[in-house]
Amino acid sequence: MIKNDKWIIEQARQGMISPFEEKSIRKAVLGTAQEVPTISWGLSSYGYDIRLSPHDFRIFRHIPGTVVDPKRFNPQNLEQAELHTDEDGSSYFIIPANSYGLGASLESINMPPNVTAICLGKSTYARVGVIANTTPLEAAWKGEAITLEFSNASSADVKIYASEGVVQLLFFEGQPCQTTYADRGGKYQNQSNKVTLPKV
């Protein structure tokens, strides 16, 4: 069963999401003295919109003769993206046309042992060609941040805003499982607040 806003509030108070915003934020002070429109984050009816961290965003780059291998990943295939600031004080990275980037959430997550969450892209980004990979946060997964994956399917460079909403989490509760992600020592357990690279 998908979980509602009341359940999400209760679980956030027990440490499931931190920091936590109990409503949907659509305007914020981001560096200027006045509120400016933002890509929304915070609580929704049946989910929670998390934000993109301004501290770590990496873009895949083409190195001639190199094949990206998820089993033997070469960190040199990624380069740190520059954080820009616009006239409103909003910070953003640029995902080049037909490129792929990795970021991290601002929020820490600590999943209950009988709940799995799915990360889905936000409509605002989908409409400009940015696709967020659908990834699960399994039962009892926790981390200082979620590593987030984005594809720019458009033929133009696209801004992706830091400290603003970027993906939505939907929470699904099931019968207690025999073995949680924590129990089996999942390889992406206890991620830091930076991008976590592929590993086996």
Domain count along the chain: 1
pLDDT at residue 161, rounded to an integer: 97
Confidence of residue 87 (pLDDT cuts 50, 70, 90): confident
Q: Is residue 181 part of a domain?
A: no
Contact 193, 65 (CB under 8 A): no
Both tokens assigned to 192: 């830091």
Q: Is residue 157 part of a domain?
A: yes
Q: Is residue 199 part of a domain?
A: no
pTM recorded for the entire structure = 0.93
pLDDT at residue 67, rounded to an integer: 85
Q: Is residue 109 part of a domain?
A: yes
Q: Give the closest residue to 128 by CA, choosing from 39, 30, 25.
A: 39
Question: Tens of pLDDT along 138-150?
Answer: 999 999 999 999 9
Any idea what the CATH number is for the domain that residue 52 is in?
Answer: 2.70.40.10
Residues tagged active-site: 149
Q: Which residues contact 78 (CB under 8 A, 6 or more apart)?
A: 58, 59, 60, 61, 102, 195, 197
Q: Average pLDDT, stretch 111-131?
A: 97
Tell me the average pLDDT of the chain.
94
Contact 198, 77 (CB under 8 A): no
Q: Average pLDDT, stretch 148-163?
A: 97
Q: Is residue 131 part of a domain?
A: yes
pLDDT at residue 31, rounded to an integer: 64
Q: Is residue 96 part of a domain?
A: yes
102: β partners = 58, 149
Contact 28, 49 (CB under 8 A): no
Q: Is residue 9 part of a domain?
A: yes
Q: Average pLDDT, stretch 100-110?
A: 97
Which residues span the domain enclosing 10? 5-173
Q: Average pLDDT, stretch 138-167?
A: 97
Query: How distant, in Å, are the alpha carbons of 19, 47, 68, 89 from that of 189?
Result: 19, 22, 23, 34
Question: Tens of pLDDT along 12-67?
Answer: 999 999 999 999 999 988 666 678 899 999 999 999 999 999 999 999 987 777 78
Confidence of residue 130 (pLDDT cuts 50, 70, 90): very high
Q: Is residue 187 part of a domain?
A: no
pLDDT at residue 17, rounded to an integer: 98
